[in-house]
Structure 1
Amino acid sequence: MIGEPARPGARKYVLFDVDGTLIDAVANQHRVWRAWAERYGLDPDDVYQVALRTRPMETFAQVVPDRDPRECLAALHDLEDEDVRSGVYAAFDGASELLGALAPGSWALVTSNYEHRVRGRFARTGLPVPDVIVDAASVEEGKPSPVPYLLAAKRLGAGPEDCLVIEDAPSGVQSGLHAGMTVWGVNTSVAVDGVHRHFGSLRAAVLDILAFTSGTHPSHGR
């Protein structure tokens, strides 16, 4: 893929997804959904396969259509909050170095999770927290809508053309693309459709992300 050209003289910004991009939370998500499924007498593996493809309310509609979705969501949130308090989390290799090297006010987090959980996970992993966090409560339309990334850019005082989105999931990639931003994919074995560049790991992208912020990122792909 070909990277988008930098706009000379303009300040550059980086907008990060969290789960799967900066923090490895796959095992935690699996554990939470297993506990939730067992609470409702469901097969945990079947539920998790649905949850991977849909948002929670859509998952509930498929696996427990006769239950109150608000009750189901409250139970899920309780389990997620407990996991933040007691679960084991790890930042992806390169995350601490990368975030520590970025200038204050030049980056943000854009997540489908909630800010208090993100802060809890960052505290557990020692990652710095930026001034701007756009979470699920910040917007009425989540990813793949462009709204979350556009709101983050607005709060940073940035134009979409000067923003680099770092994502690992198709819905997040589409959100960044719909927002008119440069989108790089990380932590996947194959490139997600639409990304301008692909890196097998976050570590492999660190120097290129820092180069982007200086306006000198290369135009060759990976």
Structure 2
Amino acid sequence: MTSRNFVLFDVDGTLMDAVANQRRVWHEWAARHGLDGDEVYAVALRTRPVETFAAVVPGRDPDECLALLHTLEDEDVCTGAYAAFDGAAELLAGLPADRWALVTSNYEHRVRGRFERTGLPLPGLIVDAASVAEGKPSPVPYLTAAEKLGADPADCLVIEDAPSGVRSGLDAGMTVWTVNTPAPHPDAHRHFPTLADAAPHIAAALGTGQRIVS
């Protein structure tokens, strides 16, 4: 029986450049709590928000911390400067709608707002922070996406830029390619300097009807 391949994309840093916005939001959040913005942002890059709060403000109410972060991020969706990486729009528009998904540590309403602002097409499935009990680097987010798509993890190609996302995809038993970083992750199967470089290979992976060549 011929396999059907699927592509699972991270969002920030993979399809969309949102680094400046993320840094600004976390710096503002840190300032509201009397903390050093650079130190807080360094933790936030590696963990989910709830885990960041536990590390930098262990005595504060995590629900209040999250509410403030959500307020700042929702404001940023409307005012921040977002840009899709070269090749993203054409790549996503050419993929079968039922064969790809977004797997993000952000929240779906925020991702939708950013995609609308940048003109990127949305898939039928978004696995966000609210969809899973464990975030990256746990394999749960990518395994959840595969389950919802009805896909075998072995038939899934993960496109990532961050070490935590790479680990998540690998531990889910998937093929992982990295993009938009100057050097490849040592455990990723393939690396491309830019998303545009990877785009024809991603499109080909969905069109072969054979298992993804790592």
The two structures have a TM-score, normalised by structure 1, of 0.90
Match in the other structure for 2:7? 14
Q: For 1:137, what is the secondary structure of its paired residue?
A: helix
Structure-to-structure mapping, 1:92-171, within 5 angstroms:
92-171=85-164
* Separation in 2, partners of 1:57, 1:85: 24
Residue matched to 1:82: 75
Cα separation, partners in 2 of 1:218 and 1:116, compared to 1, 3 Å: closer
The change in CA–CA distance for 1:54 and 1:158 in structure 2 (over 3 A counts) is: closer
TM-score (norm 2): 0.93
Return the offset for 1:103: 1.2
State how far apart, in whole Å, the 2-side matches of 1:68 and 1:96 are.
40
Distance 1:58 1:142 in 2: 10
CA contact (8 A) 1:108 1:132 kept: yes
The one-letter code sitting in structure 2 at the alignment partner of 1:20 is G
What CA deviation, in whole Å up to 9, does each residue of 1:166-193 have, x standing for no partner?
0011111111111111110011111113
- Equivalent-residue separation in structure 2 for 1:199 and 1:90 (angstroms): 19
One-letter code of the match for 2:59?
D
Per-residue deviation at 1:119? 0.4
- For this pair of structures, how many residues does the alignment match? 213
CA offset digits 1:122-160 (Å, max 9, x no partner): 001000010011111111111112111111112212111
Partner Cα distance (1:198, 1:39) in 2 = 39
Question: In the alignment, what sits opposite 1:55?
Answer: 48
Query: Residue 164 of structure 1: SS of its match in structure 2?
Result: strand
Letter in 2 for 1:64: V
Letter aligned with residue 147 of structure 2? K
Q: Please name the residue that 2:180 is paired with.
A: 187
Contact persistence 2:161–2:180 (CA under 8 A)? yes
Identical-residue share of aligned pairs (%) = 69
- How well do the aligned residues superpose, as a CA RMSD in angstroms? 1.8
Aligned structure 1 segments of 4 or more residues deviating by more than 4 angstroms: 216-219
Contact 2:82 2:114 in 1 (8 A): yes
Q: Which residue in 1 is equivalent to 2:23?
A: 30
Residue 218 of structure 1: CA displacement? Answer: 8.8
Note the residue ranges of structure 2 that are not aligned, 5 or more in a row: none
Distance 2:46 2:131 in 1: 22
Asked whether the 8 Å contact 2:87–2:196 carries over to 1, the reply is yes
Gaps of 5+ in 1: 1-7
